[in-house]
Amino acid sequence: MTEFEQDGYRLFKLTGCAGCHNGPAAGGQAYQKMGSFNRFETNNPAIGRQAITGLRSDRMRFKVPTLRNVELTYPYFHDGSVKTLEDAVDTMAWVQLNRTFSRTGNEKVVAFLKTLTGDLPRIVLPILPPTGPDTPAPQPFQ
């Protein structure tokens, strides 16, 4: 990583981004409220996990996405309302951390995030035999 990208990583950790985006995939392991400090404004209303659980406390709670290959996964957020990684970084800093990045700070964090881009996994699906009358029924897990 370049010094600029390393500065972005340090800023990512120092400002609190790593509090949610952590682990091997830099996220993807928890649900968090979108808009912890400031309201997330969007024209595409969604209620988050509340739609599944029915709990008011789950309103605007979404799965924290992995940041692996984040530069390839635009548009951003649960509703696709943010088109650029730069805008996504600024939005998250404001709504989740009550912070604003300088232009250079934003550029450093974005540079770091782009280092998380790699080869996409190749998924090879198995070819299964056809199902017939002699195919055993699935057994329940114990």
pLDDT in tens, 27-54: 999 999 999 999 998 887 778 999 899 9
Domain coverage including residue 78: 3-114
Q: How far apart are CA 95 and CA 26, in angstroms?
A: 19
Looking at the domain assignment, is residue 58 inside a domain? yes
Return the structure tokens found at 40: 């997330």
Q: What is the CATH number of the domain that holds 32?
A: 1.10.760.10
> Would the pTM count as exceeding 0.85?
no
Predicted confidence (pLDDT) at residue 119 exceeds the cutoff of 90: no
Looking at the domain assignment, is residue 100 inside a domain? yes
State which amino acid sits at residue 132: G
Q: What is the pLDDT of residues 5-20, one digit of tens each?
A: 999 999 999 999 999 9
Looking at the domain assignment, is residue 29 inside a domain? yes
Looking at the domain assignment, is residue 46 inside a domain? yes
Looking at the domain assignment, is residue 83 inside a domain? yes
Contact 5, 111 (CB under 8 A): yes
Domain count, the chain: 1
Identify the burial level of 108 via C-beta atoms within 10 angstroms of its C-beta, where 0-12 means exposed, 13-18 middle and 19 or more buried: buried
User: Which residues are 61's β-sheet partners?
Assistant: 33, 48
Kindly report the number of other CB atoms within 10 A of residue 66's CB atom: 17
Looking at the domain assignment, is residue 127 inside a domain? no
